[in-house]
């Protein structure tokens, strides 16, 4: 995401931070137990908490509709890193990315969740990535691009689209889990922005939590 965009555009009364807190929490997905530290504060903003959409995507991986074993995976807007860390624990070769100010939290959570016998594939990488600005420094040969609750600020949507387009040039599949916040234009991203370049479909719809999981693939020229 563009680091020039201030997190203060999200007023507290919008309820975006209602469930956030500063503590270490334990999450269990099948046989995997993750200890995730959430350093909520003004310096991290939306990168601090574990959002419900991230937990939903983790459950989707744990239940095996999304097989990440042996895949090259990049996570966008990783925040606490819970999604990418779980993918790495399940055998993926993972790169977790977010804005520079979130990198320390990501690195700490990756280190805290190293399996006792070591990572099944390779140690996850943690790198800064500002959408639309430096995505060209990243390769295009990913198998999967993951994102959880990264679609919430309309000013970033074209930047995200450009970044996804670059990362998926060699055929990567995109899996995005989103709280469908109408007030922030999240449905519009999936209905009008992403389809400009991607074929996308809803894989799972949690009506109670208002969370959808989407699958998308880059549309080839002339398709």
Question: In the predicted model, is pLDDT for residue 15 greater than 50?
Answer: no
- Residues facing 95 on adjacent strands: 74, 125
User: How far from the centroid of its chain's Cα atoms is residue 49's Cα?
Assistant: 12
Per-residue confidence (pLDDT) for residue 2, from 0 to 100: 40
Who's near 122: CB < 8 A, 6+ residues apart? 93
- Tens digits of residue pLDDT in 134-144: 999 999 999 99
Q: Are 215 and 201 in contact (CB under 8 A)?
A: yes
Contacts 24+ apart (CB under 8 A), 66-74: 66/144, 66/175, 68/92, 68/144, 70/121, 71/143, 71/144, 72/141, 72/142, 72/143, 72/144, 73/142, 73/143, 73/144, 73/145, 73/146, 74/138, 74/142, 74/144, 74/145, 74/146, 74/167, 74/172
Reported as a single tens digit per residue, the pLDDT across 74-115 is 999 999 999 999 999 999 999 999 999 899 889 999 999 999
């Amino acid at each position: 995401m563009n680091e020039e965009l201030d997190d203060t555009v999200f007023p507290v009364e919008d309820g975006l931070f209602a469930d956030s807190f500063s503590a270490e929490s334990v999450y269990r997905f099948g046989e995997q137990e993750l200890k995730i530290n959430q350093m909520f504060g003004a310096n991290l903003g939306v990168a601090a908490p574990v959002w419900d959409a991230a937990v939903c995507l983790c459950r989707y991986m744990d239940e095996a509709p999304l097989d990440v074993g042996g895949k090259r995976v990049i996570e966008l807007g990783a925040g606490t890193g819970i999604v990418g860390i779980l993918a790495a624990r399940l055998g993926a070769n993972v790169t977790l990315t977010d804005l520079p100010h979130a990198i320390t939290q990501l690195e700490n959570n990756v280190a805290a969740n190293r399996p006792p016998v070591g990572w099944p594939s390779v140690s996850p990488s943690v790198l800064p990535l500002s959408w639309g600005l430096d995505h060209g420094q990243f390769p295009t040969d990913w198998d999967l691009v993951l994102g959880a609750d990264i679609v919430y600020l309309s000013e970033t949507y074209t930047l995200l689209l450009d970044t996804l387009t670059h990362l998926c040039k060699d055929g990567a599949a995109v899996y995005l889990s989103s709280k469908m916040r109408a007030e922030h234009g999240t449905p519009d991203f999936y209905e009008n922005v992403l389809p400009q370049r991607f074929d996308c479909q809803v894989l799972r719809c949690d009506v109670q939590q208002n969370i959808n999981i989407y699958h998308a693939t880059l549309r080839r020229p002339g398709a």
